[in-house]
C-alpha cells in the first residue's frame, strides 16, 4: 500500500488499482494538498480576464460552457476529488474512496464539517442529489455522458456509493468533471444561484460581463483561497485582453494569442505560462446531417486540411499536428501505431468525387470565440480545399452566442476541447452516441460497446488495445477534423506567487484558489 504521506499519480493509480483489484481504500493514500513551501500571503483583490463570456451564460454547473462561466464554478464550488498538477488525484469533499467488486462499486467518504455558502452543512445526501441531477436527461448536463454508466447511487451516513453498469477503474477521475460541482440539495432547487462550498462566495453576477466574489470565511480548507475578493471579467477581444494584463487591470488572462505570445512574455512585469497537453482546436461535422452523413465527403475534407501549416501559422508553433481523434500522446494508453493522416489534395479530390456532392457551397460556421485564430484557420482550410475542388464557404459568426447558438447545433463549425484527464472521460463526454456533448453526432454501436468494455478492463495491455480500436473507428468514420493540439498559453502578473504549471490551462481553473500576491 502506498505510504500515507503521498498523493497518487495517474500511473500509480492504475498500477495500484490493477494490483489490488481496486479494493483498497484511498484513506491514507490520498491526502489534501500539502502545505506550500513558502507561506502564502493573504488579502488583496484578484482579477481574471477571460475569453468566452456570453450574455447567455448561466451559473448552473450542468449548462456551463465558456471560460468565464466555467471558471466561476471553480471559485464558488468544490468537487469530490481534484486533479493534481501532474494529472493525479487528491481528495476534496470526498476525504477518501475505495472500490469493490472489481471497480463496479465505489464508496466515497464525505468530509465532515463542510459548510455551504447558505449556511447548510454538507451531507452525503447533497452529493447524491447532485449526481442524480446530472444523471437526469432533462438537465442537459455536459456530464450526462459520463453519468450514463451509473446503475444506481445511494447515501448512507457520510458514505456516498456509486454502483456502475460495468466496472470502471477511472471513476474517481470522472468525478473531477467541472460540471459536477457539489451543491446544496444537489441544485435541485435553484441550480444557477451560485451557491457552493468553495473558497469564494458569489457577490455579483452579470452574465457575459463579470462575476464578483468574496472570501468565504468558513471554507473547510485553509490552504486555498488567499484573496479577500476575486473578480472574473469577460474580455473576448484578444487585443483588449492582453492590454488589460499589461496595464495591470487584470492579474491573469487565458488564451494568449500564439502569434504574440513571445511579445507578451517580454512585457515588463508579465510572465507567460506554456502548458502542453490535451487541448485541441478543431472543426466538427454532424455525421447524421447532409452532406456530412457521406463518409467520402468527410474524408475529402479531412485530407484537404494542411495541418502543419495551421500549427506553424495559427499556433505559431505552440502546438502539434492533430490526427482526427481527440486523444494525443499526453494521454495514458495512447496508441502510437495509428497512421498520421497526411495532407493530400489528390486524395481530397478523389473522395470528393466519390461523394457525389452536387457542388453547392459547403458552409463552415466559425468565430474566433471558438479558439484564437479560428477565422485564420478556416481561411487557410478554405484555400486548400479550393485547390482540391471542394467548394468550402466560411460564414463568420458573432462571438456572443456562439457556444449557445452555433456549437453543437449547426452541422459544420469550429470548436475547441480542453481535453480530459483520462481517455474514458474524453470519449464518454464527446463521442458516446448518447452523450449530450457529442458535437459530431457520432453514432457507432461497435464504438459504444468497446468503450463500455474498456471501462471494465483492468489489464492495461488489453485496455490499450481497446482504446486503439476505438480511435481507429473515429479516425475512419467520425466527423472530427482535428488539425492541431494546442498548447495552453496563459499570461499572468509577476506579482503573483504560487503560479505553477498544471495539467490544464489556468492551473486547471484553480488560479484563484492556489495563487496569492507575493
pLDDT of 232 higher than 80? yes
- Pair 516, 42: CB distance under 8 Å: yes
Supply the CATH number for residue 437's domain: 3.10.105.10
Looking only at the bridges linking them, the beta strands covering 392-396 and 412-417 are unpaired
Region 103-120 average pLDDT: 97
Residue 243 inside a domain? The answer is: yes
- Angle CA 285–290–294, to nearest 5: 75
Kindly state whether residues 370 and 465 are assigned to the same domain: yes
Number of domains in the chain: 3
- Pair 500, 271: CB distance under 8 Å: no
Residue 112 inside a domain? The answer is: yes
What is the predicted pLDDT for the residue at 33? 40
pLDDT of 22 higher than 80? no
What is the predicted pLDDT for the residue at 34? 38
H, E, C per residue of 137-196 = HHHCCCCHHHHCCEEEEEEECCEEEEEECCCCCCHHHHCCCCCCCCCHHHHCCCCCCCCC
Residue 21 inside a domain? The answer is: no
pLDDT of 3 higher than 50? no
Residue 114 inside a domain? The answer is: yes
Of the three residues 185, 207, 238, the one that is the final residue of a domain is 185
pLDDT of 29 higher than 50? no
Of the three residues 162, 185, 208, the one that is the final residue of a domain is 185
Domain around 234: 40-77+198-274+489-518
Kindly state whether residues 255 and 360 are assigned to the same domain: no
- C-alpha to C-alpha distance for 120 and 116, rounded to whole angstroms: 5
- C-alpha to C-alpha distance for 438 and 92, rounded to whole angstroms: 29
Supply the CATH number for residue 122's domain: 3.90.76.10
Q: What is the pLDDT of residues 36-67, one digit of tens each?
A: 446 899 999 999 999 989 899 999 999 998 88
DSSP string for residues in 43-82: --EEEEEES---TT----GGG--SHHHHHHHHHH---SEE
pLDDT of 15 higher than 80? no
Kindly state whether residues 320 and 426 are assigned to the same domain: yes
Classify 96 as helix, strand or coil.
strand
Classify 363 as helix, strand or coil.
strand
Contacts of 244 (CB under 8 A, 6+ apart): 49, 233, 235, 250, 253
First-to-last alpha carbon distance for the chain, in angstroms, is: 38
Peptide bond into 434 cis (omega under 30): no
Kindly state whether residues 442 and 400 are assigned to the same domain: yes
Region 364-369 average pLDDT: 95
Kindly state whether residues 408 and 288 are assigned to the same domain: yes
From the CB of residue 474, how many other CB atoms can be counted at a distance below 10 Å? 23
At 75, list the grid cell: 471559485
Residue 415 phi/psi, 5-degree rounding, is -150, 175
Region 79-87 average pLDDT: 91
What is the predicted pLDDT for the residue at 85? 86
Kindly state whether residues 265 and 116 are assigned to the same domain: no
Region 293-312 average pLDDT: 98
What is the predicted pLDDT for the residue at 38? 66
Residue 301 inside a domain? The answer is: yes
Query: How high is the mean pLDDT of the chain?
Result: 91
Region 109-136 average pLDDT: 97
Kindly state whether residues 358 and 473 are assigned to the same domain: yes
Kindly state whether residues 443 and 478 are assigned to the same domain: yes
Kindly state whether residues 235 and 298 are assigned to the same domain: no
Residue 16 inside a domain? The answer is: no
Q: What is the pLDDT of residues 487-507, one digit of tens each?
A: 999 999 999 999 998 888 899
Kindly state whether residues 165 and 304 are assigned to the same domain: no
Helices (H) and strands (E) in the chain, counts: 16, 21
Kindly state whether residues 370 and 418 are assigned to the same domain: yes
Kindly state whether residues 243 and 104 are assigned to the same domain: no
What is the predicted pLDDT for the residue at 5? 29
Of the three residues 126, 161, 185, the one that is the final residue of a domain is 185
Nearest CA-CA partner of 372 in 419, 413, 416:
416
pLDDT of 83 higher than 60? yes
Residue 266 inside a domain? The answer is: yes
Region 315-333 average pLDDT: 95
Supply the CATH number for residue 495's domain: 3.40.190.10
Residue 435 inside a domain? The answer is: yes
Place 155 in a pLDDT band, splitting at 50, 70 and 90. very high
Amino acid at each position: 500500500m502506498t505510504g500515507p504521506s503521498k498523493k497518487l499519480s495517474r500511473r500509480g493509480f492504475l498500477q495500484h488499482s490493477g494490483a489490488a483489484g481496486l479494493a483498497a481504500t484511498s484513506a491514507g493514500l490520498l491526502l489534501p494538498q500539502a502545505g506550500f513551501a513558502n507561506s502564502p500571503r493573504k488579502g488583496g483583490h484578484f482579477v481574471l480576464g477571460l475569453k468566452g463570456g456570453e450574455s447567455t451564460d448561466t451559473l448552473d454547473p450542468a449548462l456551463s460552457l465558456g471560460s468565464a462561466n466555467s471558471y466561476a464554478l471553480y471559485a464558488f464550488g468544490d468537487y469530490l476529488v481534484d486533479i493534481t498538477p501532474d494529472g493525479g488525484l487528491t481528495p476534496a469533499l470526498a476525504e477518501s474512496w475505495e472500490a469493490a467488486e472489481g471497480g463496479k462499486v465505489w464508496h466515497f467518504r464525505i468530509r465532515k464539517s463542510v459548510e455551504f455558502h447558505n449556511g447548510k452543512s454538507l451531507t452525503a445526501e447533497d452529493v447524491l442529489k447532485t449526481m442524480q441531477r446530472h444523471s437526469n436527461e432533462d438537465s442537459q448536463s455536459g456530464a450526462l455522458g459520463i453519468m450514463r454508466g451509473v446503475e444506481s447511487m445511494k447515501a448512507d451516513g457520510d458514505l456516498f456509493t456509486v454502483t456502475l453498469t460495468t466496472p470502471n477503474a477511472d471513476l474517481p477521475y470522472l468525478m473531477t468533471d467541472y460540471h459536477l460541482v457539489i451543491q446544496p440539495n444537489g441544485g435541485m432547487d435553484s441550480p444557477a444561484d451560485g451557491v457552493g462550498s468553495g473558497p469564494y462566495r458569489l457577490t455579483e453576477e452579470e452574465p457575459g460581463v463579470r462575476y464578483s466574489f468574496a472570501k468565504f470565511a468558513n471554507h473547510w480548507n485553509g490552504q486555498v483561497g488567499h484573496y479577500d475578493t476575486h473578480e472574473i471579467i469577460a474580455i473576448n477581444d484578444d487585443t483588449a485582453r492582453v492590454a488589460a494584463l499589461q496595464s495591470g487591470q487584470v492579474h491573469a488572462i487565458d488564451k494568449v494569442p500564439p502569434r504574440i505570445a513571445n511579445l507578451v512574455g517580454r512585457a515588463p512585469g508579465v510572465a507567460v505560462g506554456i502548458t502542453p497537453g490535451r487541448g485541441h482546436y478543431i472543426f466538427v461535422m454532424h455525421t447524421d446531417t447532409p452532406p456530412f452523413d457521406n463518409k467520402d465527403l468527410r474524408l475529402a475534407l479531412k485530407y484537404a486540411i494542411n495541418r502543419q501549416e495551421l500549427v506553424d501559422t495559427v499556433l505559431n508553433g505552440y502546438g502539434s499536428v492533430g490526427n482526427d481523434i481527440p486523444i494525443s500522446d499526453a494521454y495514458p494508453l495512447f496508441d502510437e501505431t495509428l497512421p498520421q493522416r497526411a495532407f493530400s489534395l489528390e486524395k481530397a479530390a478523389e473522395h470528393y468525387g466519390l461523394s457525389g456532392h452536387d457542388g453547392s457551397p459547403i458552409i463552415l460556421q466559425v468565430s474566433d470565440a471558438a479558439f484564437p485564430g479560428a477565422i485564420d484557420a478556416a481561411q487557410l482550410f478554405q484555400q486548400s480545399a479550393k485547390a482540391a475542388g471542394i467548394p468550402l464557404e466560411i460564414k463568420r459568426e458573432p462571438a456572443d452566442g456562439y457556444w449557445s447558438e452555433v456549437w453543437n447545433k449547426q452541422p459544420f463549425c469550429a470548436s475547441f476541447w480542453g481535453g480530459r484527464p483520462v481517455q474514458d472521460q474524453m470519449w464518454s463526454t464527446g463521442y458516446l452516441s448518447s452523450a449530450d456533448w457529442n458535437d459530431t453526432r457520432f453514432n457507432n454501436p461497435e464504438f459504444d460497446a468497446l468503450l463500455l468494455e474498456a471501462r471494465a478492463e483492468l489489464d492495461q495491455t488489453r485496455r490499450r488495445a481497446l482504446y486503439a480500436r476505438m480511435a481507429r473507428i473515429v479516425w475512419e468514420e467520425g466527423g472530427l477534423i482535428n488539425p492541431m493540439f494546442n498548447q495552453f498559453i496563459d499570461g499572468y502578473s509577476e506579482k503573483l506567487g504560487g503560479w505553477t504549471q498544471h495539467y490544464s490551462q489556468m492551473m486547471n481553473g484553480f488560479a484563484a484558489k492556489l495563487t496569492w500576491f507575493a
